[in-house]
């Protein structure tokens, strides 16, 4: 549908101690998630479809952005992959956005962020 977009690969250098904080998920990861969701909101996108591995699915669940699975996990090479849909909404954006997040967008979300 026209309000859905496909995501691809993400990469965050989580070996850096700076940004780790007391949580188990790096601040750079949360910043990336918030930026993706904010871009979706500004672009009238409500859902993100993606294929990821089970480890990343656990990270999404841990930060409060659970993947709605499409089908069963499937082995691709050495990885067990899963397809799913992620919501792109204000509630999720506000929940995931780290306190240091600064928007580059104009408008209500950008002003609040």
What CATH number should be reported for the domain holding residue 95?
A: 3.40.630.30
Residue at 14 is within a domain: no
Residue 17 lies in a domain: no
Residue 112 forms part of a structural domain = no
In the structure, what pLDDT confidence band is assigned to residue 20 with cuts at 50, 70 and 90? low
Q: Does residue 6 lie in a domain region?
A: no
Residue 108 has pLDDT above 80, yes or no: no
pTM of the model: 0.82
Show Cβ contacts of residue 56 under 8 Å, excluding neighbours closer than 6 positions: none
Instruction: Tell me what the pLDDT averaged over the chain comes to.
Output: 85
Total domain count, the chain:
1
Q: Tens digit of pLDDT for each residue in 55-79?
A: 999 999 999 999 999 999 999 999 9
Q: What is the pLDDT of residue 17?
A: 63
Domain extent, residue 59, equals: 25-100
Is residue 16 in a domain? no
């Amino acid at each position: 549908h026209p309000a859905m977009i496909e995501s691809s690969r993400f990469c965050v250098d989580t070996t850096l101690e700076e940004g780790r904080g007391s949580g188990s998920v790096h601040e750079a990861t949360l910043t990336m998630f918030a930026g993706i969701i904010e871009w979706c909101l500004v672009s009238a996108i409500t859902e993100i479809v993606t294929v990821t591995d089970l480890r990343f699915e656990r990270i999404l669940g841990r930060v409060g952005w659970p993947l709605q699975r499409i089908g069963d996990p499937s082995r691709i090479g050495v990885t067990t992959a899963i397809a799913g849909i992620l919501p792109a909404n204000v509630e999720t954006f506000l929940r995931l956005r780290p306190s240091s997040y600064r928007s580059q967008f104009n408008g209500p979300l950008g002003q609040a962020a």
